[in-house]
Amino acid sequence: PPLANMAPPAEKKQKTEETKEDVKVVEDAEMKNAEEKPAVETPKVVEPPKELETDAAPVAGAKNKDDVTFLTPDTTLNVLPSANGSVLMSLNEGGIQHLMAGARASVGVSKGRYMFEVKVLECVNVADPVAQGNNNNRMSKNLVRVGFSTAGSSLILGATADSICFDSDGAIFHDKKRTVGGQRFGRDNVMAVLLNLDEKSENANTVSLFKDGKRVSQPQALPEGLKGKTLFPHIGFKNASVHVNFGPTPLAPLPFTCHMVQDAAKAHVKVTAYAAPADGKYDVAFPVSLPDEGTFAWLDMFLEKHPTYTELSDRMIMDWAQKSGVWKNRGYENKSCNDKPEGNFQVKELDDGSIRKALFSIAPLQSRNYIVMEVRGNLMKDTRKELLSKFEMPGFKKTALVVVGEPTADFKKKTAEYTLKAKQEASDRAFKVKKMEEKRQKMQAKQAKEAEKQKKKLEKERAKKLADAKKKFEEEKKKKEVAAAKKEGDEEETHEEEEEKKEEEPEEEEEEEAEEPEEIEVEEEAPKVALDAEEKKVVFANFPVKDLAAVVYSASFTKFSCPDKEEGFEEIKYEWSKGDKAEAYMKKYILDRKLSMRIEELQPGQWAQKQLTAWHTSVNTWHAKVAEYKNMLIKKEQAKRAKEAKKAKEAREKAAKEAKEAKEVEEKAKKQAKKKEGDEEKKEEEEEKKEEEEKKEEAEPMEVEEEDEEEETVDLLSIDVFGVEDILDVGAKTPLFKEFGHEDWTLMSLKFELHLLAHAFRKDVNDSERPGIPLDHLAFYYQKYFKKALSTKEYGVESVGDIIKLVSDAVYITPQNVLDSQLSEEMETFAVFAKLTEEAKEEEEEKKEEEEKKEEPEPMEVEEEEEEEAVDLLSIDVFGVEDILDVGAKMPLFKEFGHEDWTLMSLRFELHLLAHAFRKDVDDPERPGIPLDHLPFYYQKYFHKNLTTKEYGVESVADIIKLVSDTVYLTPQQVLDSQLSEEMETFAVFAKLTEEARRFRLLRIDLGEEDAKLKIAVVQASTGGAGGPQTKGLWGKGAQKGVGAAKGTWGGVPQQPQQASWGSKGDSAKGGKGSMMGKGFAAKGPQTPQPQVAPAMQKPGAVAVRPAPVTMPPPAVRSLTPAAKGVVKGSGTVVAPKGAAKGAAAVAPGKGAWPTPTSSYGKASQTTKGATKGSQPYGKPADKGKGGKDAGKGSWGASAGGKAWGGKGGKW
């Protein structure tokens, strides 16, 4: 409290004493009240409620005359009834002992009050499955359930909402839920279940339990779902035998009389009856349905329409075990497939399939209809026969139900209902998550607001305390002043002033913030969803669990077949597609899966393992050879250094000797100077001279130094790789792969592995309908065969397709998108892989050199300008031009053509050719042309390149046709046709059409029409450089300056190998090599025309050919030249472009292709490396150093041949 309100010390003491007195008074009062309270009375024993059931009146009207019994379709397979049907036993072996047995009576009650009795005769102790799972030695309980259920409900009593019962554990069981309401019972106890449906009774719509004639359960209200329905007596038991009494006399009379079910009025009951089969044979149906195409959904619909059929399947066993309360590891929802779900019961009989064998042993002994659902088994001939053999009893008819093809309307409706339900559930879950998140955010906001409010409150309290302290200080100060004033006599006056100030100072009132009213949350319903157009088209619902496990499916689908009567079926019914249509559907299904499914069980065969072992041996040998070569170089270097050290030592010794001799001569000279002149001196001098001469003569002869032999060295770049006979010694004991780095060894191994994989797969699968490994499955089979992953990251690429490109000289992807090898299946050695790798290594090095080389542009030759005749192309009538190569002033009609024009001109010719060629090749009047949908396929087939809309900047193939509609068009039948005649003398019309279209396009652009602009992409050549007047990468980077065409001009690896080839790298990259193994177009497939083989230039596994002359436009036209893909096809002549020898038409030969006698590519045709050993040279050997060096590696021509290909100063 504030200091101003506190009492002085005397007053405070007085108040404290008063408070203590008040507390004492209260305590005395409480003690007095406690003494006055009466003692707690002992609770009285509650008497049982009064029995409301009264004695039954006599049955009015006719009584039920049908015997109340148990019909076979209304009992589980493990129930064994006695001869009179009153005693029921269950099987106790083969795993069935762990499942509940159930039996429903044939007579049901819809009105009145009736009872039936059950007596437990026997209990059998069986190991508890749960106890085994927990490694416990407890024994299983014997379980008995008695109650009522509706017709057609589950035979496992209490497992669904259609039944209610009392169990021997003293509980009430309904819809898998247990509640207290009964009493335990066991062996020799007589249990009576009373059902009261009498509307006049106080216990109407109740069920009660009596034990040995005494009530042990008060009337239990029936669930709402059972009210108003006919209810049948129902027994459930496990590991027990029971006697059932339906009357009319009870075994243990109740306190009141009650009619039994057998004595019920006819008007109060409903009798179940099943008609016997007309021919005396019960039906055993075998559904034949494809996995995940309506199998179990169709089965559920069938059982709903035919309730007399009993399902035999693993799914049924799982459902039975779940309803019986058998524990399962990881629960029943967790399963890998529907057809054969794994057990995981930790019970031997349930996990090892014993229960399935037991059921198939019991089933033929019972007269009932069966439907045997085995998805995989019913699709395979052998397993169908095995299943049929189990029902050889004379009382059964075996029927095959073929559920294949187009489903019926009611099934499609069922699928739509399931799809909508699944979509609604997913939407509800998402909605619930969204609402929970909103609620969480609101809670966080509320908590933050409360925290802010609490913070403000604490700040106010702190400010208030500070003000109170300040006020107290002021009051203390004033008190001191008052005390001082008393001494001066001014006490009363000061006190009055103080009281006045107190009255003037009002107390501060704290403003309390009004609490915001809490928002009332309105329960919002989840939005309702509907199926869109695509979802309505779904025929088979996509269930979360597949019918077959992936491994089982992969190993089985090739053996799927439709049933035949020869297998043992008496009748075959087609539920969906009929007869031949179902057969055709099945065949198409299998073929489609063969092209898309992995073979999970495939294992590498002996051939593959043998080849792989041999490969590892070879690679180890090669590595050893490299190590040996390097050791040899080290030894040579050590020997050389030792020799140099010896020479240095000898030189030092010689120098010391010479110095000594010089000193001796000097001393003798001094002695001679001191001698006198005279004959004696002369004589002595002569003698000394004579001695010196003799010494000189006797001196050792000069050592002749042995000249070091020049070590033989090998320049790998100068070697024709595919001409090497021994890769371990290409000369001077040098292995071909001496300079291989880690990348080269890795790629060489990859070449072999993918080559082996392509051949081994076909051998091991041995299926003509599986042409190879699909690209999508390549990594899977690579892991299977080589026990290691095919990682794109390891090779520094983005996709598996890019990995194939790294080794495209050995393997490739076919148009069917499967892996194939460029090389033969059988080979004597693996040397070709080392050669391919060395060749690729050299190509890569040359490519890097060319990229690093920065050449300055050669100065343009200044020629005297002459007045030239000017020609205005726009003023020329295009279709009136006679010579498109010279429309005036030596100007070609196509001089203004850009990349787009050359591309579209090529497209005009290609589609025109395709339209006519297709009709010729097919030669079928019923096929008028190529359908629009198939145009890209035939375009790839004829021209070995893709027809992509992206390249032409359009949306569809039809839009591509519109780009060249002046040449080709689509007929009303949507097939391709040409506007032009099939035969024509020249192809000038295509240039004219393109020029006319170009002019019109420019006019539209000038008028502001933006859509007239073309969006054709510039496509790089596959391996070429960036040369050529219009298109990059056509004739090579350095061809303009005499460096020679770059790699890949005529080469590259095609998508579809043919036999004719222009060589591995082109007509100039390395001297125009011939077709080699894995490069260019290998010797595969048909060839037109037949090749002319140059024997001296052949390489292993390849054919060097001279293609027939081909008429070709200038090199700037990428689409009409073979430069990008290495493809030359057809006939005609190659027109030498500007810069070659004037007037010289020639064939551009690949390695192994001989030029025509009239060809002239320069002064001397010798390539950098020369022709292959043993072949006729293209020029003098001296040209190798001269022309080749100046022109660049692999160039054609001499050093100064301005008219030569690649010659120094040449125009290409």
C-alpha torsion angle, residues 587, 591, 597, 598 (rounded to 10)? 110
* CA angle at 130 for the pair 129 and 132, rounded to the nearest 5°: 65
Question: Is residue 1175 over pLDDT 80?
Answer: no
**Residue pLDDT, tens place only, 991-1004:** 999 998 998 888 78
Burial of 112 (C-beta count, 10 Å sphere; 0-12/13-18/19+): buried
Question: Which of 129-138, 214-223, 648-657, 1091-1100 bottoms out in mean pLDDT, i.e. has the lowest?
Answer: 1091-1100
Question: Which of 344-358, 863-877, 1167-1181 bottoms out in mean pLDDT, i.e. has the lowest?
Answer: 1167-1181
- What does the alpha-carbon distance between residue 410 and residue 412 come to, in Å, rounded to a whole number? 5
| Phi and psi angles of residue 396, each rounded to the nearest 5 degrees, phi first | -125, 145
Cα distances from 77 to residues 90, 144, 914, in angstroms, run 9, 17, 69
Selected residue with higher pLDDT from 1181 and 450? 450
Cα distances from 461 to residues 298, 451, 455, 464, 516, in angstroms, run 75, 15, 10, 5, 22
One-letter amino acid for residue 419 of the chain? T
Which DSSP category does 4 fall into?
G
Burial of 1063 (C-beta count, 10 Å sphere; 0-12/13-18/19+): buried
The residue-averaged pLDDT of 373-384 equals 95
- 1044 forms beta bridges with 1038
* Token pair recorded at residue 289: 């349905």
Give the 3-state secondary structure of residue 508: coil
The residue-averaged pLDDT of 447-466 equals 91
Give the 3-state secondary structure of residue 520: coil
- What does the alpha-carbon distance between residue 820 and residue 1057 come to, in Å, rounded to a whole number? 11
Selected residue with higher pLDDT from 110 and 1205? 110
Question: Which of 631-645, 738-752, 864-878 bottoms out in mean pLDDT, i.e. has the lowest?
Answer: 864-878
Cα distances from 1127 to residues 369, 741, 1022, 1027, 1082, in angstroms, run 69, 33, 12, 19, 12
pLDDT at residue 1011 in the model: 79
- What does the alpha-carbon distance between residue 564 and residue 570 come to, in Å, rounded to a whole number? 10
* Token pair recorded at residue 713: 């060295």
Q: Are 208 and 194 in contact (CB under 8 A)?
A: yes
Q: Are 1204 and 1131 in contact (CB under 8 A)?
A: no
Q: Are 1102 and 1111 in contact (CB under 8 A)?
A: no
pLDDT at residue 1152 in the model: 35
Looking up tokens 């006819």 gives 266
Concatenating the DSSP letter of every residue in 1164-1185 gives ----SS-SPTTSPPSS-GGGGT
Percent helix, percent strand, percent coil in the chain, to nearest 5: 40, 15, 45
The residue-averaged pLDDT of 216-222 equals 94
In the chain, the percentage of residues whose pLDDT exceeds 70 is 71
- What does the alpha-carbon distance between residue 723 and residue 1097 come to, in Å, rounded to a whole number? 9
The residue-averaged pLDDT of 836-861 equals 78
Burial of 969 (C-beta count, 10 Å sphere; 0-12/13-18/19+): middle
Q: How confident is the model at residue 882 (pLDDT cuts 50, 70, 90)?
A: confident
Q: Report the 10 Å Cβ neighbour count for 638.
A: 10
Give the 3-state secondary structure of residue 1008: coil
Question: Which of 279-293, 535-549, 1145-1159 bottoms out in mean pLDDT, i.e. has the lowest?
Answer: 1145-1159
The residue-averaged pLDDT of 468-479 equals 88
Is the previous residue joined to 604 through a cis bond, with omega within 30 degrees of 0? no
The residue-averaged pLDDT of 604-610 equals 93
CA neighbor of 261 nearest in space, from 109, 450, 122, 84: 109
The residue-averaged pLDDT of 636-659 equals 86
**Residue pLDDT, tens place only, 678-719:** 566 666 667 666 666 665 555 555 554 555 555 667 788 888
Which DSSP category does 259 fall into?
-
Q: Are 757 and 803 in contact (CB under 8 A)?
A: no
pTM of the model: 0.58
pLDDT at residue 772 in the model: 92
pLDDT at residue 874 in the model: 75
Q: Are 548 and 291 in contact (CB under 8 A)?
A: yes
* Token pair recorded at residue 164: 């209610």
φ/ψ bin of 1143: left (φ > 0), alpha (ψ from -120 to 50), beta (otherwise): left
What is the rounded end-to-end Cα distance, in angstroms, of the chain?
A: 108
Q: Are 1082 and 1102 in contact (CB under 8 A)?
A: yes
**Residue pLDDT, tens place only, 7-30:** 444 444 444 444 444 445 445 545
Q: How confident is the model at residue 733 (pLDDT cuts 50, 70, 90)?
A: confident
- What does the alpha-carbon distance between residue 628 and residue 609 come to, in Å, rounded to a whole number? 28
- What does the alpha-carbon distance between residue 88 and residue 144 come to, in Å, rounded to a whole number? 12
- What does the alpha-carbon distance between residue 1191 and residue 1163 come to, in Å, rounded to a whole number? 13
pLDDT at residue 128 in the model: 53
pLDDT at residue 717 in the model: 80
Question: Is residue 1041 over pLDDT 80?
Answer: no
- What does the alpha-carbon distance between residue 686 and residue 665 come to, in Å, rounded to a whole number? 16
- What does the alpha-carbon distance between residue 1197 and residue 316 come to, in Å, rounded to a whole number? 85
**Residue pLDDT, tens place only, 427-438:** 999 999 999 999
Question: Is residue 961 over pLDDT 70?
Answer: yes
Q: Which residues of 371-401 are buried (b: 16+ CB within 10 A; e: fewer)?
A: bbbbbbbbbbeeebeebbebbeeeebbbbbb
Q: Are 868 and 860 in contact (CB under 8 A)?
A: no
Helices (H), 964-1118: 988-1006
Mean pLDDT, all residues of the chain: 77
Ranges 399-408, 727-736, 887-896, 1046-1055, most confident: 399-408
pLDDT at residue 1163 in the model: 33
Rounded to 10°, the helix 742-765/606-674 angle is 160
Question: Is residue 424 over pLDDT 90?
Answer: yes
Question: Is residue 1179 over pLDDT 70?
Answer: no
